[in-house]
Amino acid sequence: MDVYVEEIGIDGAFVFTPRKHGDERGIFFELFKSTTVRDVVGSAFRTAQVNCSVSKAGALRGIHFADVPPGQAKFVTCLTGAVFDVVVDLRCGSPTFGQWRSVVLDDSSRRCVYLAEGLGHGFMALQDDSAVTYLCSSEYDPDREHTVYPYDPQLSIEWPADLDPCLSSRDLSAPTLTEARRSGLLPAHPAAAAGPRRPAG
């Protein structure tokens, strides 16, 4: 296998580090291979949309998630620059509900993060012009997309403190985890993988 795979402590989230092949021309590596992802996550990853964002240092995007079903699994990497990437378990009933894990994605390690449907995702750019690409399993639908406040004290995400954060108005006004749960926005576990979304009790 031309990739090293790590579990990061949240069911449905993995880090893929590709093996790089280099010579005098530069490097080559497999950024994404459907059979490898299928073997690791247990199901095929259907790419319905590919997004790319370019961010200045301190730009914070997230925590974003989509209604389940259909949900939106993502395969995320940083093509240039570096980002502090975060996965949050938003699935009500999950053993790790409300927990988060982070990994630095950059143009040196070439790490990629896979996150399953129902997991929240966000990142802070560590350098100017950091370009992040996302392979998404479903197309963007603004009526089914949501966000949780990334500085929610209940989550206590340890965002880099040496940067001046820059957030969209949508992310700044996002509900807390508790508010999102009370309003029925969050997916249920194991319904995040299969079955209808239902409000938390």
Annotation marks residue 134 as catalytic: yes
Question: What is the token pair recorded at 52?
Answer: 């790319």
Q: Among 21, 114, 121, 134, which one carries the catalytic annotation?
A: 134
- In 3D space, the residue among 181, 101, 187 whose CA is nearest the CA of residue 144 turns out to be 187
Torsion of CA 162, 153, 95, 69, to 10 degrees: -90
CA 189 to CA 95: how far, in whole Å?
9
Contact of 146 with 177, CB cutoff 8 Å: no
Q: Among 4, 21, 64, 121, which one carries the catalytic annotation?
A: 64
Contact of 63 with 150, CB cutoff 8 Å: yes
Annotation marks residue 140 as catalytic: no
Q: Which residues contact 163 (CB under 8 A, 6 or more apart)?
A: 57, 58, 124, 126
What residues are labeled active site?
64, 134
